[in-house]
Amino acid sequence: MKAVVIEGKKIIKYRDVEDPNIANDEVLINVKYCGICGTDIALYLGEMAYLQTGEQKYPFIPGHEWSGEVVDIGNNIKNFKVGDRVTGDVSIGCGKCGDCREGRFNLCNNRFEVGCYRNKSGGMAEYIKMPERHLYKIPKNVDFMGGAIVEPLATAVHGIKRKIFDLNENILITGGGFIGILAAQVASASKSTTVVLTGRTKEKLDAAVECGIENVVNIKERDLQEYLKNLGILDNINFCVECSGNIDVLKQCIEIVRPGGDISIIGFYESNETNINFDDISLKNLEIHGVLASPNCFKSAISLLEKGLIKYKPLVTEIFELREIDDAIKFILDRKNKSIRVMLKIG
């Protein structure tokens, strides 16, 4: 089959690779769309942590935000058949350890992560194989492009689900990129919550408005505290979902969130150098939640898409064919942080 292969630092090729062989508990899928995530770019640039630790080795097929159609099933498959439209988890647990049995397969010591950890081949290929237990059907009214949104959407759902919030709470989402805009839509699905999204890139914030987010603040142009004060919620932010990757923004979240509030952190920081006053976390009795991947969140994400509560078309900046991977990478790097999500169309 044809696939995109990262062969070394900044070496990416569209080429022939061996067809995948499925085991009895696996399903073979013809990939239709695969999003190019920041993680894929970090893998291409050789900057991803798993490359440094040796847990991911060249060469490999990247891509964990994919959708496709089932074309073959192993002998033991019960819930999927040829022709089913599907997407799948990024974390693949062993299915046997304590963490897996309790549903925390993102923390399984023996796990694989699709396209980025322990060389489980990803979705930037004509075909991908997946174990049945990490596969989900895409509803009829969600197209294959929407299917490729499910994984990042599930990560946003995971970040929101780290706090069980009340119906009248105020939520501040910081970082108006792809995940931040999805998280703001997830939080807005409960109409009684007030959701404020902050960012610094006009193009991305315009897309957020197009997706229906009401309170969008460009913090390069407006003072956030002033904005929250005008909304009447400055002293009453119950929950911050920090998606910016900027440590100064995390500092601001700790300062703004009300005592007893919660902060979810989705993503990784470019620099960990900080003058955060960590005593504030205790003094304000805060709960800070790390968010690794998207365990048990695919069904919620799919349901939100099925009910039309998530708009994603304004977030897809450009679409390339699989063989145009060089152009796609150049497009993303040239636009720096202005492109939201670039997708590869396959199959």
**DSSP per-residue letters across 43-60:** HHTT--HHHHHTSS-SSB
CA-to-CA separations, 338 to 29, 43, 163, in angstroms, rounded? 32, 20, 30
CB nearer Zn ion, residue 84 or residue 99: 99
Q: Is 123 in the site for Zn ion (CB under 5 A)?
A: no
Size of the site for Zn ion (CB under 5 A): 6
H-type alpha helices, 200-246:
202-210, 224-231
In the complex, minimum distance from the CB of residue 169 to Zn ion, in angstroms, rounded to a whole number? 27
Which of 73, 305 has the CB closer to Zn ion?
305
Q: How far is the CB of 55 from Zn ion (least distance, A)?
A: 16
Half-sphere exposure of 302 (CA within 13 A, CB side): 19
Establish if 247 lies at the interface with Zn ion (CB under 5 A).
Answer: no
Which secondary-structure segment (H or E) carries 8?
strand 2-8
Residue 97 vs 276, nearer CB to Zn ion: 97
Q: How far is the CB of 219 from Zn ion (least distance, A)?
A: 24
Between residues 65 and 169, which has the closer beta carbon with respect to Zn ion?
65
- Kindly tell me which of 228 and 342 has the beta carbon lying closer to Zn ion: 342
Residues 76-105 that bind Zn ion (CB under 5 A): 93-94, 97, 100
Q: Which is nearer to Zn ion, 5 or 108 (CB)?
A: 108
DSSP per residue over 155-169, as a string?
A: HHHHHHHTS---TT-
| Least spacing, CB of residue 101 vs Zn ion, in Å | 8
The two beta strands, 215-218 and 239-242, are unpaired
**Residue 162 CB contacts under 8 Å (≥ 6 apart), including other chains:** 262, 264, 289, 291
- Residue whose pair of structure tokens reads 């952190």 in the numeric block: 265
- Tell which one of 12, 27, 34, 108 touches Zn ion (CB under 5 A): 108
Given the complex with Zn ion, which of 145 and 228 has the nearer CB atom? 145
115 part of the interface to Zn ion, by CB under 5 A:
no
Residues 35 to 54 in contact with Zn ion, rule: CB under 5 A: 37
**Least distance (Å) from Zn ion to the CB of residue 100?**
3
Cα(326)–Cα(328) distance, integer angstroms: 5
342 near Zn ion (CB under 5 A)? no
Under the binding rule (CB under 5 A), the answer on residue 266 touching Zn ion is no
Beta bridge partners of 137: 86
- In whole angstroms, the minimum distance from the beta carbon of 260 to Zn ion comes to 32
**Two tokens at 115?**
């396209």
Our measurement of the distance from residue 258's CA atom to the centroid of its chain's CA atoms, rounded to an integer in Å, reads 27
**DSSP one-letter string for 21-50:** ---TTEEEEEEEEEEE-HHHHHHHTT--HH
108 or 217: CB nearest Zn ion? 108
Least distance in angstroms from the C-beta of 157 to Zn ion: 14
Nearest-approach distance from CB 37 to Zn ion, in angstroms: 3
Q: Which of 340, 347, 313 is nearest to 128 (CA)?
A: 347
The first and second tokens of residue 189, run together, are: 């699905």
Q: Does 180 bind Zn ion (CB under 5 A)?
A: no
- Shortest Å, Cβ 206 to Zn ion: 22
Q: Which CB atom, from 17 or from 94, has the smaller least distance to Zn ion?
A: 94
Pick out residues in 3-42 that bind Zn ion (CB under 5 A).
37
Which residue ranges make up the site for Zn ion (CB under 5 A)?
37, 93-94, 97, 100, 108
